[in-house]
Amino acid sequence: MKKIKSVVLFYNSERRKALDYAAAIERRLKLGGAKVLRICVNDACADLKTADAAVAVGGDGTVLYAARHVIKRGMPVLGINAGGLGFLSGIEQKEFLKSAGLFLAGGFRKIKRSLLSVSVTRGRKTIFGPLPALNDCVIRSPEARAFTLRASFGCQFLSEYFGDGLIISTPSGSTAYSLAASGPIVMPELEVFLLSPICPHTLTHRPIVLSAKEELKVSVLGGRPGPQAMSLAIDGQENFPLEPGDFVAVRRHPRSFEMLAPAGFSYFDILRRKLSWGER
């Protein structure tokens, strides 16, 4: 990786820790000779200028925000945890301050993560998207009532789901909402979709792993009884209201998200540290 001379710094102004961390990290980056452009994730995002890399200081939500906004620019992103879980972060703040020189010298490695491309069709017209999602897209109702969704994979009918909704996630998102819905943990390098039903009204519907080479399409058939409000959420941050008859199309995004991490970064170590995976 080439030397880093310019950085876009994403931060969450609503977290005091993130503000303090961002200020310290900005000083360290400038001390190393880098130009820094600050972007607050709580404000409307202006058109980004191309930089050598982006740094997201906050929790997983800050990394998700940064990922969706830099994908067109092809900038790699380093997540620095200043939140709770910080599962998408590549490094902790104290470790970064010690290794900032190596980061600016291009010594961190790139890890590619697949993205979803999500759109909504009503009639024959695309009315939403396509938008990228690093973790997942979720179809559900804000009301405590079940509704029916019909899913197809490629040219094949998959199943009808009657319940509280569906989670369609990437391997990166397998440790997020999908995991809470009893979905499997999937290595991020795999090219797959995870389809996890939310509280299905049957004992036979379980999460399924699908190839990302085909399009997954979900049609909204409505609720029982009567119509109700339904919505599509992208990474828990972008929301769109759905109506009966709408089609949600999910494909693999043509670009990959590039995550930056130190040379010794291990996904399995993150599982053990963040989720206590495998502990007795």
Task: State the pLDDT at residue 228.
Answer: 57
Looking at the whole model, is its pTM more than 0.75? yes
In the set 47, 52, 60, 246, the catalytic residue is 60
Rg of the chain over all Cα atoms, to the nearest angstrom: 20
231: burial class by Cβ within 10 Å (0-12, 13-18, 19+)? middle
Both tokens of 54, joined, read 């982006």
Task: State the pLDDT at residue 232.
Answer: 96
Which residue ranges form the domains of the chain, and what is each CATH number?
A: 6-114+256-275 (3.40.50.10330), 116-252 (2.60.200.30)
DSSP-based helix, strand, coil % in the chain, nearest 5:
20, 40, 40
Which residues does 16 contact at the CB level (< 8 Å), separation at least 6?
none
Task: State the pLDDT at residue 225.
Answer: 46
Task: State the pLDDT at residue 46.
Answer: 62
Segments in the chain below pLDDT 70: 1, 44-47, 83, 222-228
Whether 118 contacts 130, CB under 8 Å: yes
Closest CA to 64 of 50, 45, 77: 77
- For the stretch 76-98, what's the b/e string if a residue is b when 16 or more beta carbons lie within 10 angstroms of its beta carbon? bbbbbbbbeebbbbbbebeebee
Task: State the pLDDT at residue 222.
Answer: 65
60 included as an active-site residue: yes
